[in-house]
Structure 1
Amino acid sequence: MTKNETLVEKLNDLAHKAKDRTITKEEEEEQRALRKEYLENFRAGFKSQIEMMRVFDKEGKEVTPEKVRKIQREKGLRDD
């Protein structure tokens, strides 16, 4: 199981507990921390996907935004 899957599983368990009864302050804190970590991981993964993306129009011409091209050059992902 990946780290993200483990986070989701723990978050779901706490959400079910909260729905069934009142969770403790410690569990609320844990839930907050897990949500924060999950969102940080999600954002980092999404940012990485965007930074790796190349966009082409119907004619096959690359139309990747310059901002993304610059990031790709800085990370050594482009040689143009």
Structure 2
Amino acid sequence: MARYFFDIHDGSFRLDEDGLECADFDAVRREAKRALPAIAGEILPEDGDHLTLTVRVRNDRHETVYTATLMFNGLIVPSQE
């Protein structure tokens, strides 16, 4: 199995130094897709309505092989009364 690194950008950049072994590229994509909502559930800003999370996946040669982005935008809707 090959090792892939899942770096996170959420306004700051967190470099994955450990990585994760994945059986194939489909597993890499699944892990990136699974990670985004899990991270969003932990760091959604309580005082704001906007957040963009991006995961950048690098292979063992540190080449970017996949990226995925999750965006949250909240909007207060004015009363129609």
TM-score, scaled to structure 1: 0.31
Q: Which has the higher strand share?
A: 2
TM-score, scaled to structure 2: 0.31
Question: Which is bigger in relative contact order (C-alpha 8 A, separation at least 6)?
Answer: 2
Q: Which has the higher helix share?
A: 1
